[in-house]
Amino acid sequence: MGGADWRQVKDFINEMVVLSQIINRNVVKLLGCCLETEAPLLVYEFVSNGNLYDLASVPIIYRDINSSNILLDNDDKAKVSDFGASRLVPLGETQVSTIVQGTLGYLDPEYLQTSQLNENSDIYSFGVVLIELLKGKKATQFGGNSNTLVMHFVSSMKEDCLKDVLDTRVVNQSNENQVMEVASLASMCVRVSGEERPTMNEMELKCVIVMQKHSLAKGKMKYEENEHLLGHLANAYGFDGTSTSISGNTQSQIAFELEDGR
C-alpha cells in the first residue's frame, strides 16, 4: 500500500472514531460506512441547503468609487450608487483582467498600468475620496489627475504640515486627533503598491476604532462641561465648599440627568 493510500485509510479510520463519539446537533451525523467499494466510504445524514461557502456573498469590485457616486440620505448616511461599471469576482479569484474604466482622478495607478482589476483598486479610489473630504478640494480640480492631489497630501504628511492644508470646516480642536487618524488611513489607501494598502476589513476595523475614540472623547468633553456647570450650580445654591457640599453621588446623578437632557 502506497504512502498516499495509507494516509487515506488513516484519515478514514480517524474520522470514524471521532464522529462516532460525537453527538451534537451542529455536527453532521455519521450514519455508517461502506467497505465493499474500492475505497471505503462514509455515509452521512443528508444536509439539504448546501454549505456556507456557496451561500457567501460574491465579492464585488465597484470600479468607479468617486464622491459623486456616494449619496447622502436625510440622516447623512452614505449610500453607494451607480454599479454600471462594477464587476463580480468569481469565488477563489482575487482579480480580473479588463479594459480600464472609471472616473479620471480616482483611478488606481496600478490598474491604469496593468489593466488588472482587484480590491486594491477600490481601496485607492476610496483613499482619494477621503483626501477630497479632508482637503475640501475635488480630484477633478486638478485636471482629472489625482496624482497632484494625492502627492500634495502625502508630501504634507511627510513634512508634518498636514494641518496647514486641511479644510477648516473639517478639523477643529475637539476632533483634531480623529481627523489625523483618518488622514493616516487615507495615506495608506493611496500607496503606490496595491499590496501595501489596507484591506476592506482592516479599514472597517480602523474606522470603528476611530469612531469609538471620537465617541469617548465627546463623552469626556460632555462630562467636563457638566462638572463645570455643576460648579456654577453649587455656588448659585450656596454650596461653596466651605459649609455644605454636594456629595459625589449627587453630583453624578445631576451630571447624568443633565447629559440625558432632563
Active site members: 64
DSSP state of 243: S
Picking from 37, 54, 202, 52, the residue whose alpha carbon sits closest to that of residue 126 is 202
Which grid cell is 14?
480517524
Rounded-to-integer distance, Cα 63 and Cα 18, Å = 47
CA torsion sign, 154 to 155 to 161 to 163? negative
SS3 of residue 95 by DSSP: strand
Picking from 262, 109, 74, 137, the residue whose alpha carbon sits closest to that of residue 194 is 109
Question: Residues 119, 59: contact at Cβ < 8 Å?
Answer: yes
